[in-house]
Amino acid sequence: MADFVGAVDQGTTSTRFMIFDHGGNEVGRHQLEHEQILPQAGWVEHNPIEIWDRTVSVIRTAMQKANLQASDLAALGITNQRETTVVWNRRTGRPYYNAIVWQDTRTDRIASALDRDGRGDVIRQKAGLPPATYFSGGKIQWILENVDGVREAAERGEAVFGNTDSWLLWHLTGGVDGGNHITDVTNASRTMLMNLETLEWDDELLSFFNIPRQMLPEIRPSSDPNTYGMAHAPGPLGGDVPLTGDLGDQQAAMFGQVCFAPGEAKNTYGTGNFMLLNTGTELVRSNNGLLTTVCYKFGDAAPVYALEGSIAVTGSAVQWLRDQLHIINAASESETLAASVPDSGGVCFVPAFSGLFAPYWRSDARGAIVGLSRFNTDAHIARATLESICYQSRDVVEAMAQDSGVTLDVLKVDGGITVNELCMQIQADVLGVAVSRPVVAETTALGAAYAAGLAVGFWKSTDELRENWNESRRWQPEWNDEQRADGYGRWKKAVQRTLDWVDVD
């Protein structure tokens, strides 16, 4: 068998291709950013053609830098930004519109209407999700209603929908020359259109959004020995490689963090934060603002479910300090600036740029910096930004404990912000539990590689994957209980100041 597995990691700000050996060690990578298109307030788009072009480039460059051929790869996995919605013509391969990104809030009236007439409760019961701008169903409806010719093309079977995993899989398996239109259960579970119990598209849910069923991809397991098809020789790999792993990015991170047992949790720090708790084969419905979602599915085995707390703005708040406020020149400078003061000087920053996600689900919220005085400097705002990342995560931990009864002893963390050691120390302080970062921080791509490799026998079992996991750094809490309670109390008060700012009715 070939010695390596490859993984495409198509994220919110960039696309990368990574290559791993049997020990889960990185042996090659290349990464390229793509444009963030912001047509108006609350709208966030990507160019699907640019994303495909970036994918081709990162695959070719990573393989060349590692001096590898397609025959060196046992399998290929894909992981992707979930919910981001692409609608394209299967005959021409052209998108009808830019990809509408998960952060986009243009569908707020669609979401609020669902809750007003009772359909929202059906969505919660069947799909495990609250009606929100976050998910794909409303984005598809918006494109059908606002882009000329799309509904007619959908009725003819020409216009098809997919998240970015489907878009890339379709291209990799042939595109207009017979490409396969498929997705996996984890991505499908983020649309408001899939029934969590049957793992199939639900006709009642489709009717809520007036979406033709023939637009939707076939739903497959996350790790599939039957393959999604071959990445063919004319494509970026230059040879045939089986495509056998496909997971949404946060579920892929669970794979990469080897959270295979019920009660294990991880928190990924990226553009947003995403905490998942494995609940096993039990479908646990949240009463505290969390999402019930599919964690993964191995071949014909029963699906494994998770509770998830999705936070819209964390790493992107640091980008905002850099790109809009210009108080730092690089994201890494946020740590140095924040560390120059002992605390936030009474400042609280709630970065509700896209409303508030879990556990509040308030699309009427908008960002606020409160507690300012003339004493405060850019350093206090930088520190309040790092604290906002950690307090939003505490909101989710509190909800998870209420829903599941699980009290965390340690939180596994991954993603770009985990290199910010001050932020991770604040996280341990805010939660009152240890925070653990693995040696391989790019767990999203690693998880996609693991899913693909398991399907072809490159790795024999999840126990083998556990042996690959090693800790790089652990942070212990340093705050006392009074500091922790006071800080969280101020945070909750600040959150209340952000609500009822936008009229979504």
Mean pLDDT of the chain: 94
Query: pLDDT at residue 404 above 90?
Result: no
| CB-count burial class (<10 Å; 0-12, 13-18, 19+) for 60 | middle
What digits encode the pLDDT tens for the residues 434-478?
A: 999 999 878 999 999 999 999 999 999 999 999 999 999 999 999
Q: State whether 214 and 268 are in the same domain.
A: no
What is the mean predicted confidence (pLDDT) over 283-310?
Answer: 93
pLDDT at 341: 97
State yes or no: 416 annotated in a binding site: yes
- Provide CB contacts within 8 A for 501, sequence distance 6+: 364, 365, 366
**pLDDT for the residue 416:** 87
Residue 465 maps to a domain: no
Structural domain harbouring 495: 258-438+470-504
pLDDT 10s digits, 16-54: 999 999 999 999 999 999 999 999 988 999 999 999 999
> Nearest 5°: CA angle at 140, between 134 and 143?
115
Report pLDDT digits (tens) over 118-154: 899 999 999 999 898 989 999 999 999 999 999 999 9
Please tell me the total count of domains within the chain. 2
Q: Which amino acid is at 342?
A: P
202 & 276 share domain: no
On whether 360 is known to bind a ligand per the annotation, the reply is: no
The answer on 222 and 183 residing in a single domain is yes
pLDDT in tens, 323-340: 999 999 999 999 999 999
Statement to judge: residues 30 and 100 lie in one domain: yes
pLDDT at residue number 210: 96
Pairing verdict, β 159-162 and 73-80: unpaired
H-assigned helices in 310-434: 315-320, 333-339, 378-404, 421-431
Q: How confident is the model at residue 504 (pLDDT cuts 50, 70, 90)?
A: low
Choose the final residue of a domain: 187, 219, 250. 250
Q: Nearest 10 degrees: CA dihedral of 30, 330, 470, 436? A: -150
Q: Are residues 486 and 337 in the same domain?
A: yes
Same domain, 212 and 98: yes
**pLDDT of the residue at 1:** 74
Q: Are 125 and 283 in contact (CB under 8 A)?
A: no
Report which of 154, 138, 6 is spatially closest to residue 76, judged by C-alpha positions.
6
Residue 82 annotated as lining a ligand binding site? yes
Query: Does residue 445 belong to any structural domain of this protein?
Result: no
385 carries a ligand binding annotation: no
> Is 315 annotated in some ligand binding site?
yes
Same-domain check for residues 282 and 185: no
User: Terminus-to-terminus CA distance in the chain, angstroms?
Assistant: 58
Domain assignment of residue 366, yes or no: yes
Binning the chain into helix, strand and coil, the percentages to the nearest 5 are 35, 25, 40
Give pLDDT, residue 441. 79
On whether residue 131 sits in a domain, the answer given is: yes
What's the CA gap between 21 and 5, in Å, rounded? Answer: 7
410 shares its domain with 364: yes
Would 237 be classed as within a structural domain? yes
Indicate whether 412 and 278 sit together in one domain: yes
Residues 134 and 228 in one domain: yes
Res 77 pLDDT > 90? yes
What's the CATH number where 25 sits? Answer: 3.30.420.40
16 labeled part of a ligand binding site: yes
User: Is 134 marked as binding a ligand?
Assistant: yes
Q: Do 376 and 489 fall into the same domain?
A: yes
Residue 200: inside a domain: yes
Residue 451 lies in a domain: no
pLDDT at 505 exceeding the cut of 70: no
Beta bridge partners of 362: 356
Domain boundary among 250, 270, 299: 250
Of 217, 250, 283, the one marking the end of a domain is: 250
* Domain assignment of residue 270, yes or no: yes
Q: Does the pTM of the predicted model rise above 0.75?
A: yes
Q: Is 271 annotated as a binding residue?
A: yes
Looking at the fold, whether 184 and 234 belong to one and the same domain comes out as: yes
Is there a binding annotation on residue 273?
no
